[in-house]
Each structure stands twice: as C-alpha cells, then as structure tokens.
Structure 1
Amino acid sequence: MDGFMLQLLGLQLFTGVALGAIYVLMAVGLSLIFGMLTVVNFAHGAFFMVGAYVGYLLYQYVPNFWICLVAVPVLTGLIGIVVERYLVRPLYGRGIDYPLLLTFGLGYVMVEVIRIIFGKQGLPVSTPEALQGAVDVFVGPFPLYRLFVIGVAVVVLLILWLFIERTSFGLIIRAGARDPMIVRVLGVDISRVWLVVFAIGTGIAGLAGYLSAPMQGIAPEMGTNVLIVAFVVTVVGGMGSLTGAIVAGLLIGIVESLAAFMYPEASKVSMFIIMALVLLVRPMGLFGRAGLMS
C-alpha cells in the first residue's frame, strides 16, 4: 500500500509539473510585458483563449498539429502587435491605471467576439495521434501529451533566455526594462522594442492556450481562471521577474496538483495560501525588485 501511495504521489508530482508548465508560459508572458512596458495586461487570459481558438480554426484548414504549433504563437503575436500599436501605445505615460483599464475591457470584448463567432458552448479538442498514449516515468504510466507540454515549455524558455541574454536586441530589452530614458538617449527606437516585447508575451500566451486545449477543451471563458492563476504566479515570483515566474509557476502547479490528490476541496485555495505566505515574508515576491510599480 505504501508503494502504491508513493506511485500515486509521484504521478501527481508529474501532473503538477505539466500544469505548472502552462502556468509558467502564461506568467512569463505576463511578466515580460510588465517588466518592460509596466503594463498590467488584464487581456492576457483572453490571448490565451484566442490562441486556443486560432489553433482550432487553423486546424480545420491545415490539419497538421505541428504546423499549427508554430503558427499559433505567430498569429496571436500579430494580434498583440495590433493591440499594442493602436490601443495600448497611446496610453503610455498616463499612469499605470489607464492601460490596466483598457486591457481589462479589451479582455471582455475579445471573449464576446469569440462567443459571436463560435457560440457560447465549449468545443472538444482531441490529442494529436502521435502524442496519444502513456509512457513509463519510473513511478508509473504518464500521458505522453503532458510530457510533451513540459518539453515545449522548456524549449520555449530556453529560446527566450537565449534571445534575451545572448542577442543584441535582448540586451536592449534588458536595458529598456531598467532605464528606458537612457535607451532613448542612445538613439534606440524604444517603441519598436515595446512592440516586439508585447508580441512575444501575447504569442507565448496563445501558445499556452493551444497546448492546453487537448487537456481541457476550449471555451470562451477558458482564459478567466488561468488569468487569475497567472497573476498569482506573477505576484508570488515577483512582478516583472522571469525567473520568479518560472519558479512560482512550477511551485503552484505542483502544490495545486498534490492538494487535489490529498484534499481536493483545498486545491484551488492552495495557491492563494502560498501567495499570502510569500507576501507576508517578502512583499515584492520571491524575485521581485522595489520601485517597479512607480
């Protein structure tokens, strides 16, 4: 019995990592946008939902999961470019509340547009044939698709790290996050940098939505709950911190999964308990820095 319980705990741990991978992708995009643009993007959950629907629609015309996997973040990022250029950019310099309220309303608009086009009912999404079944992960059989999600998250994070830390444009992003005025003085078009960052953040959110679709189906409201989790992860990790988003995303995913196994009633509350405990000890979050909100 003890061995069986350990096996179940091990499987729940892997489930938590897979769940945390989705949370990490959402929180990384959210933190990237906030850390660079100081925009609290309340439409981030809507981009998550849009990514799932874009993938669903694209698959009807190009029934290839792998092509859609590449196309979805690109198309969602293009939508993000339009939003940043024509809606968010005019509000820069007016205070943090203005883009916050704009994206809050925009999220509702995007949900209603999806309802008009696809209806209010959810739609099932099947797991790609090549990723069906289970594999042995030493503690028992685990769904192959969930392992794939973990792998995609690792690859995306690695590419993002290389882009930010090993390219000249990434250097500009890091410099702009610390002091955009100096970057302007050096002759860099900071508005172009903001555009790229917003596109990357929303594109990653769209990818997360597409990856989660086979696990939960798609519905117009699917971005609401994950947006709440993404903000909790971002606050726990530290606003604007990519490292914090990764650590906190995995932590909350694992804790939520284990709580669902041991005490299901507390699974959704567990992340708020973690947030409260972290903020009591470190108000800026695990990896946050002071002065970012000012």
Structure 2
Amino acid sequence: MAGLSLDLLALQIFTGLALGAVYVLLAIGMSLIFGMLTVVNFAHGAFFALGAYAGFLVLSLGGNFWLALLAVPVLTGLLGMAVEWGLVRHLYGRGIDDPLLLTFGLSYVLVELIRIFAGTQGLPFDAPDALAGAVDLGIGYFPLYRLFVIAVTVAILALLWLFLERTRVGLIIRAGARDPEIMRVLGVDTGRIWRLVFGLGTAIAGLAGLLAAPLQGVSPEMGNAILADAFVVTVVGGMGSLPGAILAGLVVGVIVSLTALFAPEAGDVAIFVLMAVVLLIRPQGFFGRAGLMS
C-alpha cells in the first residue's frame, strides 16, 4: 500500500474498464434476450466459448483476426437463431423456468461438443501483430489490445443503439417487447423478430468470446466462469436493461481489477458482495423494472 501511486491506480482502473468491456458485451446480449423475450439464457457462456473457438478455427484455416472479427458474430448469431427456432420458441408463454432449464441443459451440451471436437486442453490465442505492444497514456504504458477491446465495445454499443432507435426493425423490436399482441394484430411476424433478437444476443456473446480469447486463452470451460460474472452484471444493472448492463459491466470490471490490486484473494467475492448490496438497496437493479421476473 505504501508504494501505491496514482499512476498505478489509474492504470488498474483502465485494466478494469477493459475487463468491464467484455462484461458489458456479455451482459448486453443477456439483457437484450431477456428484455425482449423474457428468456434467461444460461447457454450464453457456451456461446461465448463458441465465439472464441470459432475465431481459433478461422485462424487455423488460414484466415486472420480481422476476418474472424467479422465471421464469428455471423456464425454464432446464425447458431443462436437455429437454437431459438428449434428449441426456445416452443417454450414462449410457459413461464420463466422452462426456457431457463432448457438453456441450462443446452450449455452443457455445447460445452461437451466443444470438448469432443476441439479437445479438453486449453489453446493459446495471440493478439494480432498490429495490436501487440503498449501505448503511453501519460500515466504509464497500457496494452494496445485492451484499448482495442474498449474501442470495439463502444462501437458495438453505438451500432446497437442506432439499430434499435433509428431503424424500422428496431422500432418493431421495442414495440413488440412492450406489447407483442398488438404487433400480431398489426400483422407483424413476431416469431421472426424474436429469432432475430436471440441471434443478435448470441452474436454479441460470440464476439465477446473472440475479444476475450487473447486475454485469457481458449478453453471449453471459459464461458462457465464468466457466465456467473455476466449474470451478476445483468442483475446489478437490472434484468432487461441495456443502460444498466453497460453501467454495471464497467463498475464490476473496475471493482474486480481494484480488488485484484489490493486483495487478490477476494477478487471472486467482491462482485457478489456488490450484488448483495445493490439488491438490498434496489431489488430491481440500477435501471431494471420492478416485477419483471414475476
């Protein structure tokens, strides 16, 4: 503690923001699916891992990181749409427990498939050469790749906002989330809209997995650990709230980073303490709506 400087503290906060960016992407996907479909997607962590492995596959087939950055969201999004069409859509209107249990079981299936086809050992995943090294922020040197992760997250959030607020499909999605019956009366195929939403959420999860791969490597279980953190972020931000997911993701990332600096052994506990405190003060989270889970 005596040797702690403001520069070191600031760099640790930047590190937390980079970690928080990954949390934000995962929580945004979960909140998008829950807010529009009222489905708690426990397979989200598996899609996160699939995104990392899909990126590794693109690189092993002779592609590069930039191609993977485009291909991975498309592949995981299409798989998510197939899952929604083949499984999830049959459980709409049957309460929140049925799709939760379905996606919980699906996560185990997907992780086992990864183990079967890719092996059980972890795989290295290097950042592209263009993003190697560090940049001087004036307070010290910070890894360039982590800044890239923050920048990509900001870009994804901006594109998502434009899509939901400035396009006809986005208007239908927001209206359908509030009153799907009216949308059906107006002739809107809500089934296709929900499929698109589910695919968009899993596409963002896959992209988060790809971005996290150079930070932590690739392993079949990589989604299991981060799913618990992402769920905490979603609950703290408010189930179904996109602004809440953004704020909570950054807050949790910074808390994890600072806890690792001051008390590394308490890193896994800190975010659950945060969740407990927030739920005691505001049960619906930062920006959630009361009664949404009932």
In the superposition, the TM-score normalised over structure 2's length comes to 0.98
1:95-244 matched pairs, under 5 angstroms: 95-244=95-244
Provide the rounded CA distance (Å) in 2 between the counterparts of 1:109 and 1:214.
25
How far apart, in 2, do the equivalents of 1:62 and 1:45 lie? 27
Counterpart CA distance in 1 for 2:256 and 2:4 is 21
Give the letter for the 1:69 counterpart: L
- In the aligned structure 1, how far is the partner of 2:138 from the partner of 2:109? 46
For 1:202, give the aligned amino acid.
T
Q: Partners of 2:180 and 2:226 in 1: how far apart?
A: 31
- Correspondence for 2:260: 260
Query: Is 1:32 aligned with 2:32?
Result: yes
For residue 92 of structure 1, what is the aligned residue in structure 2? 92
Q: CA deviation at 1:63?
A: 2.4
* Corresponding residue number in structure 1 for 2:68: 68
Q: Distance in 1 between matches of 2:96 and 2:17?
A: 33
How much does 1:62 deviate? 3.5
C-alpha displacement of 1:3: 8.7
Q: Which residue of 2 aligns with 1:246?
A: 246
Query: What percentage of aligned pairs have identical amino acids?
Result: 67
Using the TM superposition, give the Cα deviation of residue 137 of structure 1 relative to its aligned residue in structure 2, in angstroms.
Answer: 1.3
Distance in 2 (CA, whole Å) between partners of 1:267 and 1:256 is 6
Ranges in structure 2 where 5+ consecutive residues have no aligned partner: none
Alpha-carbon RMSD: 1.2
Amino acid at match of 1:180: P
- How far apart are residue 21 of structure 1 and its match? 0.1
Equivalent residue, structure 2, for 1:50: 50
Of residues 89-98 and 129-138 in structure 1, the stretch that sits farther from structure 2 once superposed is 89-98
1:60-118 Cα shifts (integer Å, max 9, x gaps) = 11321111101100110011011000011111111111111110000000000000011
- SS where residue 54 of structure 2 aligns? helix
Alignment correspondent of 2:13: 13
Number of aligned residue pairs: 294
Please give the alpha-carbon distance, in whole angstroms, between the structure 2 residues aligned to 1:201 and 1:50: 14
Q: Deviations over 1:189-215 (max 9, x none)?
A: 101110000010000000000000011
CA separation in 2, counterparts of 1:145 and 1:2?
Answer: 30
Is the counterpart of residue 284 in structure 1 residue 284 in structure 2? yes
Q: Is the 8 A contact 2:58 2:64 kept in 1?
A: no
Return the offset for 1:293: 2.1
> Within 2, Cα distance between the matches of 1:2 and 1:137?
23
Amino acid at match of 1:289: R
Q: Give CA deviations for 1:250-280 in whole Å, capped at 9, x if unaligned.
A: 0000011001001111111111111011101
SS state at 1:268 partner: helix
Of stretches 20-29 and 131-140 in structure 1, the one that deviates more from structure 2 is 131-140
Classify the secondary structure of the residue corresponding to 2:87: helix
- Does structure 1 conserve the Cα–Cα contact (< 8 Å) formed by 2:48 and 2:207? yes
Query: How far apart are the structure 2 equivalents of 1:291 and 1:274?
Result: 21
Superposed CA offset, 1:30-59 (max 9, x none): 000000000000000000000000110111
**Counterpart residue identity of residue 6, structure 2:** L
Counterparts of 2:44 and 2:165 in 1: how far apart (Å)? 24
Mind listing any 5+ residue stretches in structure 1 that lack a counterpart?
A: none
TM-score by length of 1: 0.98
Give the Å deviation of 1:2.
7.6
